[in-house]
Chains A and B, each alone.
Chain A
């Protein structure tokens, strides 16, 4: 399917477990982003990537790890999940950086950490 997909869509895990959220896009967009969305905080950037093998921290990177070995994939790993990481996670991609480049968002992953 064309577009940007995320998996799983829903995930329940326990404190201390490692969790990986997957993101895949079919447009060959250079830029990919991970956001978390919590009530009262809007969308906060966790990590982003300008190209394969290039990643950079966003506003709230602590507790998260990313990699980008292929242009189309940008997985997000919670190395040791905590309850504060319960959130909705959105992956996004754009053709380039900058205000002119529309970001396309995936459907989101709702993560609950017990």
Chain B
């Protein structure tokens, strides 16, 4: 089976940088994705990593280390609107099996 671990809550100051970690245990591994969900809203896709290294998209970056079964989402220049839940998700077993989501990290950005 698959399991993912991420912190349940993180608090950070507006303008700062925050890192949300995700460790996973899977039988086979094809990649790690990140989704954002605001309260009362639907999850929306942020990024994916299939290979080791850092992927940057504007203020958000995502990192993967396959050897460490570890990834993180980095949010820079935090804004109040970044307050949301962030989910990591993996695809394992074979390339076309569905995503398995972590339980999510609730990020609170404070002034």
Q: Which residues of A come within 8 Å of B, CB atoms?
A: 33, 35, 40-45, 48, 50, 58-59, 90, 92, 96-100, 102-108
**Contact, CB under 8 Å: B103 / A107:** no
**Contact, CB under 8 Å: B42 / A90:** yes
Chain B residue nearest to A58 in the complex (CB): B98
Q: Would you call B73 an interface residue if the criterion is a C-beta within 8 Å of the partner chain's C-beta atoms?
A: no
**Contact, CB under 8 Å: B91 / A45:** no
Q: Which 6 A-B residue pairings sit nearest by Cβ, starting from the closest?
A: A99-B31, A97-B96, A42-B103, A105-B42, A102-B45, A43-B101
CA distance A92 to B44 in the complex (A): 10
Given contacts A33-B98, A42-B103, A45-B98, contact A99 B91 (CB under 8 A): yes
Chain A residue nearest to B45 in the complex (CB): A102
Q: A45: which B residues are within 8 A, CB to CB? A: 98-100
Q: Which residues of B come within 8 Å of A, CB atoms?
A: 30-33, 35, 41-45, 48, 50, 87, 90-91, 95-104
Chain B residue nearest to A105 in the complex (CB): B42
**Contact, CB under 8 Å: B95 / A98:** yes
Cross-interface CB contact of A106 among B42, B45, B95, B104, cutoff 8 Å: B42
Q: B103: which A residues are within 8 A, CB to CB? A: 40-42
**Contact, CB under 8 Å: B50 / A99:** yes
**Contact, CB under 8 Å: A90 / B43:** yes
Chain A residue nearest to B4 in the complex (CB): A42
Q: A107: which B residues are within 8 A, CB to CB? A: 41-42
